[in-house]
Chain A
Amino acid sequence: MASTILQLSGITKRFPGVVANDRVDLELKEGEVLALLGENGAGKSTLVSILYGLYRPDEGEIRIEGQPVQIASPAHALRLGIGLVPQHPLLVGRHTVAENLALGVGRFWFPAQRMVPLIEQLARSYGLEVDPHARVHQLSPGEKQRIEILRALLRGARVLILDEPTSVLTPLEAEALFRVMRELRSAGKSLIFISHKLDEVLAIADRVSVLRRGKVVGELPVAEATKPRLAELMVGRSVSFERKRAEPRLGPALLEVRGLQARSSRGLPALRDVSFSLRQGEVLGVAGVAGNGQSELVEVLSGLRRAEAGTLSLEGKPLVPDPARLFEMGVAHIPEDRIRMGTVPPMPVSENLALREYRKPPLARGFFRDLAAYEQRAKAQVQQYAIATPSPSTPTRLLSGGNIQKVILARELAGSARLILAVHPTYGLDVGATEQVHQILLEKTYQGAGVLLVSEDLDEILALADRVAVLYQGRLQGPFEVGSLTREEIGLLMTGSSLPTGQGGAA
């Protein structure tokens, strides 16, 4: 029996109005991979923050090798041998890999330069290839993750916490990460793998702890775990893995895109000769790892970015690079960033709901705004979309993520939306809100609207889309009928590989 390296007992953390962690017990042994499974909002992040010294628990005890400890800061956690590989890497983009790794531990003179041999040695022994002289902002998410792992190892971490590490990786990169994790395990390191993806947990973990609403609701060796069992523990009821999509009634072509080219904000080619069409009543999923042109595609279609070449038309009418005119034509946009783009957080719900139509009656009477009309309209939409807000005059920044998203949906779908551009529409939402958002979108397709669904979550695309296309380095593969490809094949396309001939086939 391996010895216990980290033990949590009775950890409780409260925030105003919510118990984020409720008497959590956890045990981590030397040389094992413990998966921490739970939905968004189940309390995983809070627990990680406690282990990494960002929060202090209100109650409970943490022991490292039997010694009770109070983890005061991330730096303290590192000294205690706990390293975190965060979901969003904490690196200095403009510095080199070596400079990043030397920060805080390097020698006084030439800290980065002296770090290079150390990095190379460590990288070799765990299969973590990375060029020490590369600038971090030029690296892929997978490479940045490797730097974070190297950093923890360089500081002698014995416990590694990986926070949703695969969310930014292609399936192939995830495989490589798992190899590294196994390598680390056999070297005697202990790993906490945080995820909400059941397949991955079953593939890599030795044991699984499931969190729900801040409590540990189950703990079992992976050998005894099955996918339905874990899902039930995680969600609290049995979950169907079936498609949510009813048989679509497809109409004539809605959106036609031919030979589209566009550049990114940094002036680099972002979309290369992209062509596809979308029919009325159809959901087209666009898969791909972030940064392969998805943002630019949506920006062009919503009028926020100019196309360099190509033709775009909606029901035969050409699309113009003007967000306001496009909205009038029926292009609704559920943006990637709810806070920075989708809403004006300090403004009240009623004014946020007006963002698209404030120029037109009844909201505007000439130059003046009709405040009564704002109020009336907001009340109706709050009711229709079941937005939980104290009143229409509450600032949206006080709402939860799910309700902010519903404000956006209410606003975007209020007009006669023909084409709905939905970017990560359920990112960060809990199960209930996700369900509602999906229903609202599907409902619109039954009324004849087309949905372009951009998501990094393959499960979401597979559950909703009729066809799926994959963006890789600005080129679009597909679209393919959803049933004609396996997850693995889509994963391959996301890494730029092409399919063996005869499979899939453009639809």
Chain B
Amino acid sequence: MEEIWNALGRALSFGTPLLLASLGAVINERAGVVNLGVEGMMAVGALAGFAVAYGSGAGDGNLYFAVAAAAGAGVLASLLHAFAAITLRANQFVSGLALTMIGLGVAGLLGKRFEGFPLFNQAPEWPFTVGVVLLALGLAFVLAYTRLGLVLRSVGENPAAADALGIDVVRVRYLAVAFGGALAGLAGAFLSLAYRPSWTDGMTVGLGWIAVALVIFVGWSPLRAIGGAVFFGLLYYLQFRLQGQSGIPTEFFAAMPYLLVIVVLALAGLRRVQGAAPEALGQPYQRGER
């Protein structure tokens, strides 16, 4: 019994950054914008959070500021994507990919001086976990039952219709992408402040990609994202449990998340989840000249 509780606890802890990042992606995808830059935004957020919390190195950095800095860094990174994909109507998939490279690259360069230092004032995990579950519930409600949600969903389904009714499609999409960036930044902060209080290059270990795949797997639903995140959290837990005990090579476990993403996408394809995608997902919007 204790074993199960322990497993569930670890699953929730692994699942927290996943849920954070994928909730953000759910929101920007519901507004019609794909952002494959989650991994990069997480890296930037993790570094920003760590840098602020690190302060002078004596554990004197303010953790609240650190969390805010992480979210802010995520937003800044996401605006790069927003500008390319929304204003300049560039290919959203490639733009997001470029953002991941930029995010990982910039964080790797600027974070070099923090590499290997421990964080003395580490943050607790539970506020993130509790907060993100509440957030998922709140987002589900907002999407279904408020004007905000209605506007967001309409922009993702049929931007021309929303535009004709006086809704500023570009602004809504910018805000949604920024929200996605903030949550990805927070996911990074969870990693560098609470989960493994330190900074190492590549500490996001592909979680961002899994978050992107998770969005498709849960059919763009914040509620189902909770279940999806716990499920993946459990897989991660099992991976760590089995790694030491079995004769299976460690490389197999390291490759596992990436294989899982493919499996998840293939499963989603089998179940025809793609049909639930917002109608205008991935398409830039340009006011129609008739």
Which A residues lie at the B interface, using CB under 8 A? 45-46, 49, 54-55, 73-76, 78, 90-95, 99-100, 102-113
Contact = CB atoms under 8 A, between A and B. Distances in A.
B162 to A, nearest CB: 7
B279 A93 contact: yes
A73 B167 CA distance: 11
Interface stretch (B112-120, B146-154, B192-200, B209-217): B146-154
B279 A94 contact: yes
B289 to A, nearest CB: 8
Contact of B147 (A45, A91, A107): A107
Interface in B151-179: 151, 153-154, 157-158, 160-167
A234 B223 CA distance: 58
B144 to A, nearest CB: 9
A46 B290 CA distance: 8
25 contacts: A49-B290, A54-B287, A54-B289, A73-B166, A74-B164, A75-B167, A78-B165, A90-B160, A92-B153, A92-B154, A92-B158, A92-B279, A95-B153, A95-B157, A99-B154, A102-B147, A103-B150, A103-B154, A103-B161, A103-B167, A104-B167, A105-B165, A108-B147, A109-B147, A112-B150
B127 interface: no
Nearest to A88: B160
Contacts of A106: 147, 150
A95 B279 contact: no
B288 interface: yes
Interface residues of B, number: 23
B5 interface: no
A92 B154 CA distance: 7
A459 B290 CA distance: 26
A50 to B, nearest CB: 11
Contacts of A94: 157, 279
Given A103-B167, A104-B166, A93 B290 contact: no
A55 to B, nearest CB: 8
B158 A54 contact: no
Contacts of B151: 103-104
A90 B150 contact: no
A75 B165 contact: yes
B169 to A, nearest CB: 12
Contacts of A74: 163-166
A111 B160 contact: no
B158 A90 contact: yes
A55 B288 CA distance: 10
Nearest to B278: A94
Residue in A54, A100, A103 whose Cβ sees the most chain B Cβ within 10 Å: A103
Residue in B145, B148, B160, B164 whose Cβ sees the most chain A Cβ within 10 Å: B164
Given A45-B290, A92-B158, A75 B279 contact: no
A359 to B, nearest CB: 32
Contacts of A75: 164-167
Closest 6 CB pairs of A and B: A75-B166, A104-B165, A90-B161, A74-B164, A92-B157, A92-B158
B145 to A, nearest CB: 5
Contacts of A55: 289
Given A103-B151, A108-B146, A109-B147, 12 more contacts: A75-B167, A90-B160, A90-B161, A91-B158, A92-B158, A94-B279, A95-B150, A103-B150, A103-B154, A104-B165, A106-B150, A111-B147
Nearest to B164: A74
B148 A108 contact: yes
Nearest to A45: B290
B26 to A, nearest CB: 16
B150 A111 contact: yes
A199 to B, nearest CB: 27
A111 B142 CA distance: 11
Nearest to A112: B150
A93 B157 contact: yes
Contacts of B153: 92, 95
B279 A99 contact: no
A107 B166 CA distance: 15
A458 B287 CA distance: 34
Contact of A99 (B150, B166, B167, B290): B150
Contacts of B148: 108
A5 B279 CA distance: 39
A277 B203 CA distance: 69
Contacts of B158: 90-93
Contacts of B279: 92-94
A408 B165 CA distance: 38
A82 to B, nearest CB: 12
Given A54-B288, A74-B163, A102 B157 contact: no
A422 to B, nearest CB: 26
A18 B238 CA distance: 69
Nearest to A155: B165
A58 B101 CA distance: 47
Nearest to A99: B150
A105 B167 CA distance: 10
A369 to B, nearest CB: 30
A108 B158 CA distance: 20
Given A73-B166, A102-B150, A103-B165, A110 B157 contact: no
Contacts of A108: 146-148
A73 B287 CA distance: 11
Contacts of A111: 146-147, 150
B276 to A, nearest CB: 9
Nearest to B160: A90
A102 B150 CA distance: 8
A106 to B, nearest CB: 5
A99 B154 CA distance: 9
Interface in B265-290: 279, 287-290
A49 B160 CA distance: 14
B175 to A, nearest CB: 16
A168 to B, nearest CB: 17
A106 B287 CA distance: 23
Nearest to A89: B161
A320 B223 CA distance: 48
B141 to A, nearest CB: 10
Residue in B154, B162, B289 whose Cβ sees the most chain A Cβ within 10 Å: B154
A110 B145 contact: yes
A103 B165 CA distance: 8
Contacts of A49: 290
Given A93-B279, A110-B145, A111-B147, A103 B288 contact: no
